[in-house]
């Protein structure tokens, strides 16, 4: 794993988050989710995991267990924006492949890859409860369904800042 530089600013952010949860070790799942959202590469680096473990009094092996168990917490770096396309039963019936093709064309990467500028990661996900607007995808916290090719392009562009 690449060495991640933990700088003072990030430590300060982490300390603030820990403070807001009263350093409660039971809240480690939500704490890690929040810390992850402050890291541009959207993951929990080893050094951060160790630090959180020490501050909360949790053995690093158990922090690692939490990081690797939950799909929403990443142990490997991702793009700034994670585009998740549903591949579960309903979206398969409603032909998720059409959305996939547009996304791959628009972002110029294949499923599972990250754009060279580190802006977007394109990956599959399991059902996130948008079956009534299927086929659907998420970018970060937002869910998008009832899509057309044009709509998808528009959506991506808003994340590009255009």
Partner 1 sequence: MNRTVNIISKNFKKYNPESIEEYLELGGFEALKKAIEMGPQEIISTLKTSGLKGRGGAAFSTGRKWEYSANVKGDKKFIICNADEGEPATFKDRYLLEYDPFKVIEGMIIAAYTTGSTDGYIYIREEYKYLHNKVRKAIELAEKHGFLGKNILGSGLNFNIKVVSGAGAYVCGESTALIESIEGKSGRPRLKLTRTSKQGLFGLPTLVNNVETLAAVPPILEMGVEEYIKYGTHTSKGTKLISLCGNVNKPGAYEVPFGITLREIIYDIGGGIKDGKQLKFLQLGGASGAIIPAKLIDIKYCYEDLEEHGASVGSGAILVADETNKVTHFLKSVQDFFIHESCGKCTPCREGNRQLTKIINRFVTGNASVEDLKTVEKFANVMKYASFCGLGQTAPTALLTAIKYFPVEFYQQIDRIRKTS
Partner 2 sequence: MKNCTITIDNKEVTVPEGTSILEAAKKVSINIPTLCNHPDQTVKANCRICLVETKPGKLETACSTKVRDGMTINTVSKLVRDTQRGVLELILANHPQDCLKCIRNGKCELQKLCEMFHISKSNLEDEIDALEKDESNPSIVRDHSKCIKCNRCIEVCQEVQGVSILSHAHRSTKYCITPAFEKKLVNTLCVFCGQCTSVCPVGALYEKDDTEKVWNALYNDNLHVIVQIAPAVRVSIGEEFGAKPGTKVTGKVVAALRRLGFDKVFDTDFTADLTIMEEGHELLDRINRGGTLPMITSCSPGWINYIEGFYPQLLDHLSSCKSPQQMFGALSKTYYAKKLDLDPSQIFTVSIMPCTAKKYEAERKEMSSYGYRDVDAVLTTRELARMIKSASIDFLNIEEENFDEPFGITTGAGVIFGVTGGVMEAALRTVYEVVTEHELENLDFMDVRGLEGIKEATVDLNGTPIKVAVAHGLSNAKKILNQINEGKSDYTFIEVMCCPGGCIGGGGQPIGSTMKVREERIKGIYDVDKVMPLRKSHENPAVKELYEEFLGQPLGKISHKLLHTTYSPRSEKIDFDYLQWNNEIALTEE
Binding site for partner 1 (CB under 8 A): 25-30, 32-33, 58, 62, 65-66, 69-73, 87-90, 92-94, 126-134, 138, 141-143
Q: Least CB distance from residue 84 to partner 1, whole Å?
A: 9
**Residues 127, 40, 32, 74: is their CA dihedral positive or negative?**
positive
Contact status: 46 vs partner 2 (CB under 8 A): yes
Rounded Cα–Cα distance for residues 55 and 40 (Å): 22
- Can you count the helices (H) and strands (E) in the chain? 7, 4
- Pick the closer one to partner 2 by CB: 1 or 162: 1
* Residue 49 partner contact from partner 1, partner 2, none using kind-dependent CB cut-offs of 5 to 8 Å: partner 2
Token pair in block for residue 94: 């409603």
Residue 143 sits at the vertex; the CA angle it makes with 104 and 70, to the nearest 5 degrees, is: 85
Q: Least CB distance from residue 108 to partner 1, whole Å?
A: 26
Q: How far is CA 123 from CA 58, 134, 140, in A?
A: 31, 17, 12
Residue from 62, 108, 110, 142 in contact with partner 2 (CB under 8 A) = 62
Please report, as ranges, the residues that interact with partner 2 according to CB under 8 A. Answer: 1, 46, 49-50, 59-65, 68-69
């Amino acid at each position: 794993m690449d060495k991640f530089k933990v700088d003072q600013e990030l430590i300060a952010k982490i300390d603030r988050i820990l403070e807001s949860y009263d350093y409660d070790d039971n809240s480690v799942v939500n704490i890690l989710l929040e810390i992850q959202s402050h890291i541009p590469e959207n993951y929990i680096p080893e050094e951060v995991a160790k630090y959180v473990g020490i501050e909360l009094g949790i053995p690093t092996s158990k922090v690692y267990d939490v990081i690797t168990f939950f799909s929403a917490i990443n142990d490997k770096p991702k793009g700034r924006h994670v585009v998740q396309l549903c591949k579960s039963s309903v979206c398969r019936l409603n032909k998720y492949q059409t959305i996939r093709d547009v996304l791959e064309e628009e972002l110029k990467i294949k499923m599972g890859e990250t754009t060279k500028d580190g802006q977007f990661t394109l990956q599959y996900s399991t059902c996130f409860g948008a079956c009534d607007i299927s086929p659907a995808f998420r970018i970060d916290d937002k869910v998008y369904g009832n899509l057309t090719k044009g709509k998808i392009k528009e959506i991506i562009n808003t994340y590009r800042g255009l």
